[in-house]
Amino acid sequence: MNITRSARLGLGVMALAVAATACGGGEERNVTQSAENGSLVVGIKFDQPGLGQRNPDGTFSGFDVEVAKYVADKLGVNEQNIEFKETPSAQRETVIQNGEVDYIAATYSITDERKNKVDFAGPYFIAGQSLLVRADNQDITGPDSLNGGKKLCSVAGSTPAQKVKDEYAQDVQLQEYDTYSACVEALRNGAVDALTTDDIILAGYAAQSPGEFKVVGEPFTEEKYGIGLAKGDDESRDKINDAIEEMIADGSWEKAFNETVGASGYPMPTPPTVDRY
């Protein structure tokens, strides 16, 4: 059979489209539909002790993980049918829009800019930005003390470091890494003077390396952690909001906090009110 050149081109385009979809580059997911099909892909952090961490035995632990599992259970999906996917800060909106995950629970602050690209359920936790320094550091006590060309580390795709530069210390030298764990190593070896992100994240790193680091200064922002999902998936967002409210009401939220973050000494906060964005 003769196949015209235009037909061959058309078949090629179709094949590429199928391949792209198979590789996770297709349309955004619908959480409810995925749950009805029996499984969920959930984005978390792999390197944040107490929040989202991949353990040496391949299991996952942390407060974000417990929230993600509770939500999945309320959607009808048990833990064994959850695939956890690492979602670095700079990639979170992209993996939702590409359909690579159903939802993300990864210290994901709800902001107006992000709401232009994805939707949020929650918040399920409210944190505040702070600073981590080496334990012997006496110079840095808060964001105002970062002037004088000090080196401040944070993660690409997150906002904390730029906020410090814009509002507190204009001549601070920003150093961006792919992960917070890389920032911690840079702080340990003296390549940077401080690490900034949310206080609950910093408390986990300080607890992981007793005597090496300390969290300094009072929190100077309010960060509302939400569960990110595809924009316009209103039914699923409502169901996730219901699950968060139930987790807080039945005591599971407090239990999860004590079993994960509590070991760091971070004080038990008042549970948030779900805003239903």
Query: Any idea where the domains of the chain sit in the sequence?
Result: 28-127+223-264, 129-216
- What is the token pair recorded at 122? 């929650």
Cα R_g (the chain), whole angstroms: 21
Mean of pLDDT values over 95-111: 96
CA distance 201 to 194: 14
CATH architecture of 28-127+223-264: 3-Layer(aba) Sandwich (3.40)
139-161: pLDDT as tens digits: 999 998 998 889 999 887 777 87
**Rounded to 5 degrees, what are φ and ψ at 167?**
-115, -20
Instruction: Give bridge partners of residue 32 from the DSSP assignment.
Output: none
Q: Of residues 169 and 91, which shows the higher confidence score?
A: 91
Distance, CA of 236 to CA of 32 (rounded, Å): 6
What is the SS3 assignment for 125?
strand
Confirm whether 28-127+223-264 and 129-216 share one CATH topology: yes
Confidence of residue 36 (pLDDT cuts 50, 70, 90): very high
Q: For the domain bounded by 129-216, which CATH number is listed?
A: 3.40.190.10
Q: What is the pLDDT of residue 147?
A: 86
Check residue 85 and give its pLDDT: 98
List 120's β-bridge partners, or say none: 228
Please say whether the beta carbons of 227 and 107 come within 8 A. Answer: no
**Predicted pLDDT at 277:** 65
Residue type, 86: E
Within 10 angstroms of residue 61's Cβ, the number of other Cβ atoms is 16
Over the chain, what is the mean pLDDT?
Answer: 88
